[in-house]
Structure 1
Amino acid sequence: MTDTDTPPPIVLASQSPRRAELIGRLGLEFEVFPADIDESYRDGEMPPEHAERLAREKAETIAATHPHALVVGSDTIVVIDGAVLGKPRDREQAVDMLMRLSGRDHEVCTGVAIAMDGRVESGLERVRVRFRTLDREACEAYVATGEPMDKAGAYGIQGFGSAIVEGIEGDYFAVMGLPVVRMLALIERFGWRYGFGRLVRG
């Protein structure tokens, strides 16, 4: 294997353990350097646009100091009735969010971006998620596990939250926080493809 066939390092521009878990499941080695950016909305910015922009900015921020790495940025938001549900500030707000989602459909928008060598490519996954009907006691019991407190919309689909998600239409991994197939498709735009456990030239 020549140097030109040696894949670039992968850097995850996020402190999310779920995103790290998903890249790790692919068997790929990577480093974590969380990006510290302003996540405020811009005037007139719609939630899907916001998620993709933040993914790009996270990737670009870390790529500035890791220019020859494949830097992965991602951002996930939960939307219901046109309102964005971010990470709850406390347990009471988490319960209120879950009660709002109870028995209804909502949308999860996850943006993902890859930056390397001064270039950035990005995409967006939009997923419809349906909750089963919950009473306040169930919401309080879920919040008491601590799982909802660092997650948009106050739930995680892969943990205890699997007991409250009735169904989804779209990419399950996007709801976890990283659309894996779209991420790999973006990496291919930089000349590398997934070879099951490694990246290969292609």
Structure 2
Amino acid sequence: MNNIKVILASKSPRRQDLLRLMDVDFRIVLKDVDESYPAGLTPEEIAVYIAAKKAEAFDEEPGDEVVLTADTIVAIEGEILGKPESPAHAVEMLKKLSGKMHRVVTGVCLFYKGQYNKFFDVSEVFFRQLTDEEIQYYVEKYQPLDKAGSYGIQEFIGLIGIERINGSYTNVVGLPTEKVYQQLKQLI
């Protein structure tokens, strides 16, 4: 992937790490984007809609670089769990996820030569029943206020609480690397 130059429009250290592990040459450019979305969209539509809004913020042509934007959301029982507003909100979210299956949806948009290539990936994540002590410990120690659904799969709560995943692990981390790789190959 060394011949592809990417602008990553994300401050997520997890997305940055995944691109590094893929040997993608990238630089980070951040734009302020309103992440609101119209009512009535499915989780897949919401993730793609927000990823596309982030890409559309790059109104100038990026030349020979690909702008990569993404948005990850957590959905459970018809509810969207975004980033928590406080530690108490994070505890509340984790209690909702405890003992249940939820869906992690990542929408991705690749903006290249005036074209927007939009796609998404979905993973099903199964948490065992978590204790109040495990949830409290995780929220206090890891401060997951920057994570959709209030958790990182690669951190304590994911390592001790997730029983299984149907789908892409990297999608749950925040970027479906398998699909991103295939789409980038098609662009260049």
Shared fold (TM-score greater than 0.5)?
Answer: yes
Offset from partner CA, 1:112-167 (integer Å, 9 cap, x none): 11111111111110110001111212110110112422100000001223222111
Name the CA distance, whole Å, in 2 between partners of 1:152 and 1:48.
Answer: 14
CA RMSD in angstroms, aligned pairs only = 1.6
Residue 187 of structure 2 aligns to a residue whose secondary structure is coil
Name the CA distance, whole Å, in 2 between partners of 1:62 and 1:15.
Answer: 16
Residue 130 of structure 1 aligns to a residue whose secondary structure is strand
Q: State the 1:173 CA deviation.
A: 0.3
Give percent identity, aligned residues only: 39
Contact 1:147 1:156 in 2 (8 A): no
Unmatched runs of 5 consecutive residues or more in structure 2:
none
Name the CA distance, whole Å, in 1 between partners of 2:145 and 2:138.
Answer: 10
Q: State the 1:189 CA deviation.
A: 2.6
Q: State the 1:7 CA deviation.
A: 3.1
Q: Provide the TM-score with structure 1 as the length reference.
A: 0.87
From 75, 78, 87, give the equivalent of 2:71.
Answer: 75
Offset from partner CA, 1:61-98 (integer Å, 9 cap, x none): 23635243111111100000100001111110100100
Name the CA distance, whole Å, in 2 between partners of 1:67 and 1:29.
Answer: 15
From 18, 21, 26, give the equivalent of 1:22.
Answer: 18
Name the CA distance, whole Å, in 2 between partners of 1:35 and 1:163.
Answer: 35
Q: Provide the TM-score with structure 2 as the length reference.
A: 0.93
Say if 2:139 is the partner of 1:143. Answer: yes
**Count, aligned residues:** 186
Unmatched runs of 5 consecutive residues or more in structure 1:
1-5, 192-202
The residue that corresponds to 2:175 in the other structure is 178
Q: State the 1:190 CA deviation.
A: 1.3
